């Protein structure tokens, strides 16, 4: 079932839907850089979609697409990536696929209530951090999570710089200009998103050290923290445009990813 034609088509819709979200997040990040009080994360993007005519109907399309990606990624985590010859690299890709299944599950869970109510929830990252800090040994657990997020952001930057994402695409029939745009938007997008995720990891670590969950309220906090740095407005505009590039890359990926 997970490799059936309807699921493959829906999975491509889900990848493209992720592109729509990242275009909106990039646009919201630029608005934040220019002084807007917008919420520059997935909830802000979902809320922006819901506010449009037919936005709630479109959100249900996103929910179905995200759910299909979860199914496809979960199966790939167990049996996928047979085209990768090296066993260790195949194992890494399967682990990453499992992580992406979780990410898309979170997106589906976030999009469904927004589609029902017509408005997105605000924040959420701070509540999750507060929950971690409240556990026995919570500061250590939260610090380790922050370190993991920071490393994840660094890996994303490295994969973008090395264009590792091309390994999972089948570009055999693509035009040379399409190949170039796919590679360039992916490279810029992965690096920009990795920087934002890395900043989020630092904020989670700071929250652990200061015992203040408000310091790590998701991607929105990370992007707003960038704005507060020297030349932060320019840095945040660059990151916002980079995240938008990742959104464009998702459209290429929806077409050329090896959905098998």
Question: Which pLDDT score is estimated for 3?
Answer: 60
Q: Inform me whether the pLDDT recorded for 158 exceeds 90.
A: yes
The pLDDT value given to residue 246:
93
Give the pLDDT mean for 118-125.
61
Tell me what pLDDT residue 201 has: 80
| Residue 234 reports pLDDT greater than 70 | yes
Residue 127 has pLDDT above 60, yes or no: no
Backbone angles phi, psi at 257, to 5 degrees: -65, 145
Q: 187: pLDDT confidence band, cut at 50, 70 and 90?
A: very high
Tens digit of each residue's pLDDT (9 = 90 or more) over 21-63? 889 888 888 888 887 766 767 777 888 888 887 888 888 888 8
CA 60 to each of CA 2, 20, 28, 99, 143: distance values in angstroms, whole numbers, following the listed order: 20, 14, 22, 23, 36
**How many whole angstroms separate alpha carbon 36 and alpha carbon 218?**
18
Mean model confidence pLDDT for the chain:
81
* pTM across the whole model: 0.82
When pLDDT is averaged across residues 242-248 and rounded to a whole number, the result is 93
Percentage of the residues of the chain whose pLDDT score is greater than 90: 15
Domain boundaries, the chain: 5-255
pLDDT at 172: 87
pLDDT of residue 109: 83
d(CA 90, CA 84): 6
Say whether pLDDT at 123 is over 60: no
Q: Specify the pLDDT at position 128.
A: 60
Residues with Cβ within 8 Å of 229's Cβ and at least 6 positions away in sequence, in order, are 235
């Amino acid at each position: 079932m997970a490799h059936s034609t309807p699921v493959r088509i829906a999975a491509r819709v889900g990848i493209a839907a992720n592109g729509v979200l990242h275009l909106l997040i990039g646009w919201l990040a630029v608005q934040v850089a220019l002084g807007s009080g917008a919420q520059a994360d997935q909830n802000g993007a979902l809320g922006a979609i819901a506010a449009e005519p037919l936005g709630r109907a479109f959100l249900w399309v996103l929910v179905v697409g995200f759910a299909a990606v979860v199914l496809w990624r979960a199966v790939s985590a167990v049996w996928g990536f047979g085209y990768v010859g090296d066993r260790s690299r195949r194992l890494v890709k399967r682990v990453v696929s499992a992580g992406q299944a979780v990410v898309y599950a979170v997106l589906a869970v976030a999009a469904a209530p927004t589609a029902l109510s017509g408005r997105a929830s605000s924040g959420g990252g701070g509540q999750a951090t507060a929950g971690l800090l409240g556990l026995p040994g919570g500061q250590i657990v939260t610090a380790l999570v922050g370190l993991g997020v920071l490393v994840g952001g660094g890996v994303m930057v490295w994969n973008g710089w090395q264009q590792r994402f091309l390994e999972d695409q089948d570009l055999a029939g693509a035009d040379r200009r399409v190949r170039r745009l796919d590679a360039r938007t992916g490279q810029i997008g992965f690096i920009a998103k990795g920087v934002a995720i890395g900043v989020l990891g630092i904020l989670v670590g700071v929250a652990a050290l200061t015992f203040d969950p408000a310091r790590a309220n998701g991607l929105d906090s990370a992007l707003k923290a960038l704005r507060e740095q020297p030349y932060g407005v320019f840095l945040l505009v660059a990151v916002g445009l980079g995240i938008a590039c990742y959104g464009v890359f998702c459209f290429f990926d929806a077409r050329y990813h090896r959905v098998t």
